[in-house]
Structure 1
Amino acid sequence: MSQEGSDSYRRAYAGQIARLANVRDERIERAFATVPREAFLPPPPWTAISMGTALVTRELADIYDNVLVAIDPERGINNGEPALHAAWIDEVGPQPGETVIHVGAGTGYYTAILALLVQPNGRVEAFEYEADLAAQAAGNLTACPNVTVHAVSAFGRVLPNADIVYVNAGVIAPDVQWLRALNPKGRLIFPWQPHKGWGPALLVTRRAGGLSTQSLMTVGFISCSGTTERISVARLPTEADLAAVRSIWIRSDRSPDSRAVAVYDDVWFSSEEIGD
């Protein structure tokens, strides 16, 4: 296919994704229209997955749709749903000059989009625990000089200060270092999955009064590799508990109180509202 044909598919796809995700920042649509998705996928044939149905295809048009595309079916690793990521990226609002930590970068597609959005002068520190995926990401991202790929887990590790921590793997609880890394007004987005395989996507914002937390949508992500966090309450949080979360606290900074919704080794969730 000609470059012109590929560009045409990307432009139409970017418009579709922006509409599905109700994207407010037009730069996000432009980023999706710029980054070639196929450059971050295995060679064709591709397996595109939508609503549980898989399509094996060599047609570029089939991957320029709101579909998952398999990276490694045996490990359950996919290039994630574009509209979900567009919505998340719109929520965290990457700005020129900001620093992003991307946890679970995979082969680097969404890393590349984040890298575009923080130009000029912004950086993305991409962490990928699976060594083969990290190597692929490093190769795929050579055209993005503002990205550094780290072939290690971002869990249990002191991280550089960041304006955004963008997590693409499900966790029982966020790592305390993700919270400590956030600059003032910094944003963390991650899939909180205290129940196996599903839970709310949470947006955490560092405000003057603490770490304000809001639930965005129910999601299901592959679990984050290299984690050690475990629940330390007598029961799992209910759906009502999940919906009640308004803040998160680091236990070494503040002990759980009567408003605690879920308590873990290093962090706890609270129904307390946080102001600026």
Structure 2
Amino acid sequence: MESIQVCRESYARLVVGAAGSSNKRLLAAFATVERERYLGKGPWSVFGGGAYATTVSDDPRLLYQDVLVGIAPERGINNGQPSLHARCLAAVAPMPGDHVLHIGAGTGYYTAILAEMVGAGGTVIGYEIEADLAERARAALASAPNVRIVCASATQGELPASDVIYVSAGATHPLPEWLDALKIGGRLVFPMTADSGHGLMLAVSRQSAGGHAASFLSFVAFIPCIGARSDVASKALAEAMATKSPRTIRSLRRTGQPDASAWCIGDGWWLSSAGPLP
């Protein structure tokens, strides 16, 4: 019977490979972090085919698969799809020493992977609005000196200057608070979702004071990010998703009048198929 560490290493190769990444630090983080530490006692509720099913036992080796596991299934809250997160983590590429905000930390599993990637010289602040999940994340991450968990939504007020902002709940639009917190060279990835239907995972990088590159990573479905929802933005996004390919997105604009390159237009922002401003 395979040891649990062998299972972790095999799982890491599976999910990072599925993301099309060869990032060695990402691979090491998935092979190191103990997923069972963040998911509570088994048996676990695994989501697939539109419903939850209970694992056959509490053997933690069952968790090292590319599956959604419920952390609060009665509220529809899951520990997200590992291969999707591997793709997103590869896109924002946390580096040793980076300062990271994780918004929607849940019980802390991907917060822990971020902490592994930035190392002892970096920091990760995890924001989680659900008090019970924030407390579980604090307990699971108690031995990680470079992590702090805050029970808040991170959708209002000034945020710390950050190299990476990693969002794990669906927003209808890019919040100005998130964009303002990005350092030059900083990277943001977030699920941009309307009130119904699938959304897209959007990667944004701040290349200059006013220039942001943007790109589509994947179609996604996420629980809503409280405080990051707008009926008007939801409608605009749904219309864009119905009529245009998100694969054409190349930049996020915060100034200027939207032109023929506009993919989706919001209040104080628009996505464009043209390159980023200088």
In the superposition, the TM-score normalised over structure 1's length comes to 0.90
Residue pair 1:191, 1:219 contacting (<8 A) in 2 also: yes
Q: CA offsets, 1:210-238, max 9 Å, x none? A: 01111111111111123353426985323
Residue 193 of structure 1 aligns to which amino acid in structure 2?
A: T
Alpha-carbon distance, 1:48 to partner: 1.8
**Unmatched segments (≥5 aa) in structure 2:** none
2: CA distance, partners of 1:198 / 1:123: 32
Residue 211 of structure 1 aligns to which amino acid in structure 2?
A: H
Q: CA offsets, 1:95-128, max 9 Å, x none? A: 0010111010000000000001001311111111
What is aligned with 2:200? 200
Which aligned pairs between 1:90-101 and structure 2 lie closer than 5 A? 90-101=90-101
The counterpart of 1:9, out of the listed 3, 7, 10, is 7
Residue pair 1:153, 1:226 contacting (<8 A) in 2 also: yes
Which aligned pairs between 1:1-276 and structure 2 lie closer than 5 A? 5-52=3-50, 54-57=52-55, 58-194=58-194, 196-208=196-208, 210-231=211-232, 236-237=239-240, 238-240=242-244, 242-250=246-254, 253-274=255-276
Distance 1:197 1:71, change over 3 A: farther
Alpha-carbon distance, 1:258 to partner: 4.6
1: CA distance, partners of 2:249 / 2:85: 22
What is the aligned-residue RMSD (CA, Å)? Answer: 2.2
Worse-matched range after superposition: 20-29 or 181-190? 20-29
In the superposition, the TM-score normalised over structure 2's length comes to 0.90
1: CA distance, partners of 2:31 / 2:243: 37
Residue pair 2:170, 2:193 contacting (<8 A) in 1 also: yes
Residue 73 of structure 1 aligns to which amino acid in structure 2?
A: P
The 3-state SS of whatever aligns with 1:177 is helix
Distance 1:228 1:240, change over 3 A: closer
1: CA distance, partners of 2:188 / 2:168: 11
Alpha-carbon distance, 1:90 to partner: 0.9
Residue 10 of structure 2 aligns to which amino acid in structure 1?
A: A
Q: Which runs of at least 4 in structure 1 moved beyond 4 Å after TM superposition?
A: 232-235
The 3-state SS of whatever aligns with 1:153 is coil
Give the fraction of aligned pairs with identical amino acids, expressed as a percent.
40
1: CA distance, partners of 2:252 / 2:14: 35
Q: How many residues align?
A: 272
Residue pair 2:11, 2:64 contacting (<8 A) in 1 also: yes
Alpha-carbon distance, 1:275 to partner: 5.9
